[in-house]
Amino acid sequence: MLPTPFQLTSATLFAIMFSLGVGLPLEGFSCWQQNRGLILRALVGTCVLVPLTALLLMWSPTLALPQPARFAIALMAVCPSAPLLMRKAAKQGGDRSLAALLQVAAALLAIVSIPLLGLLFTRLFGVAGWAIQPRHVAGQVALAQLLPLVLGLLLRRFAPRLAKRIELPLDRIANVLLLTLVLLLLVKAGPLLMTYVGANAVALPVMAAMVLFSLALGYGLADPDPRQRVTLALVTSMRNPGLALLLASTHAPGVPAVKLGILVYLVITIILSIPFLRWQASLRC
């Protein structure tokens, strides 16, 4: 029997977070004492300021966003700790250890921040059909992110040789699952994509504005160090589509356009990140 999209989403997120825990450079965690102010600024930026900016944009009376688009933007905004953040930072001239530390810290903080922000969004917008309970979301985030992450960290701590041996295969499995999930969603909803874009055209500039603001926010919160600036810009702009899709499957199952919106937000993030990263690369030359 083939897995359902919900089961595949859950398995993908679990595999990604477990792989992250297995591959984390534990020695890099000692840098938190020297960078406590930077880490605090980054966490406030990615877990608080980005979601609140999305809230203000959607609250604007000049933006009549359709409800599915609001769901998608809200879910991506409140879900920090992007799955591929550490690798992306390492490849783009960022600080891999700092990215790892921020990714773990954001995943922990998300257990509190996502339920509270979700409750704030639903109360302000009077969302119908989304019976969100903070304790349920906290438990779901903990099981989906924290549990596999902790298991991976424990394996790396107490069985480093085994962790080193399986790190690359686990990473590949997690990437294949993520690619499979995205392709499955595109195949199932592909025919509706152009319809979605046409019906939600006003949401595309809002998504782009969110991504650009997040990049600028991370860049501005960092110290005047090119590696830190790249890392924090990626931390604040890259959201967690796996977690957003999982929450959409749980709390908005009757609104399939939400998942399309999440994918569109992800694509916009990737596209707008390219010129920023090229600009940063040109500064290092």
CATH of the domain at 48: 1.20.1530.20
For residues 26 and 150, the model is more confident at: 150
Asked, for residue 285, whether it belongs to a domain, the answer is no
On the CB side of 282, CA atoms within 13 Å amount to: 6
Name the percent of the chain lying above pLDDT 90. 25
Q: Which two tokens stand for residue 160?
A: 């480093």
29 pLDDT tier (thresholds 50, 70, 90)? low
pLDDT, average across residues 102-128: 80
Residue 109's CB is within 10 A of a number of other CB atoms, namely 17
Asked, for residue 284, whether it belongs to a domain, the answer is no
52 pLDDT tier (thresholds 50, 70, 90)? very high
Asked, for residue 282, whether it belongs to a domain, the answer is no
**128 φ, ψ to 5°?**
-95, 145
**215 φ, ψ to 5°?**
-60, -45
130 pLDDT tier (thresholds 50, 70, 90)? low
Asked, for residue 268, whether it belongs to a domain, the answer is yes
How many structural domains is the chain composed of? Answer: 1
Asked, for residue 130, whether it belongs to a domain, the answer is yes
pTM here? Answer: 0.83
- The residue whose two tokens read 């990604």 is 16
Decide if pLDDT at 21 tops 70: yes
DSSP 3: P
pLDDT in tens, 133-179: 667 777 777 787 788 888 988 998 899 899 989 988 888 888 788 77
Long-range pairs of 182-189 with CB within 8 A, sequence gap ≥ 24: 182/263, 184/5, 184/8, 185/5, 185/245, 185/259, 185/260, 185/263, 186/263, 188/5, 189/256, 189/259, 189/260
For residues 103 and 164, the model is more confident at: 164
**54 φ, ψ to 5°?**
-60, -40
Cα separation of 143 and 48, whole Å? 22
Asked, for residue 280, whether it belongs to a domain, the answer is no
Range of the domain at 259: 5-275
pLDDT in tens, 187-199: 776 677 777 777 7
Asked, for residue 93, whether it belongs to a domain, the answer is yes
| pLDDT, averaged across the chain | 82
pLDDT at 27: 64
Q: Which helix (H) or strand (E) holds 56?
A: helix 50-59
For residues 110 and 82, the model is more confident at: 110
Asked, for residue 13, whether it belongs to a domain, the answer is yes
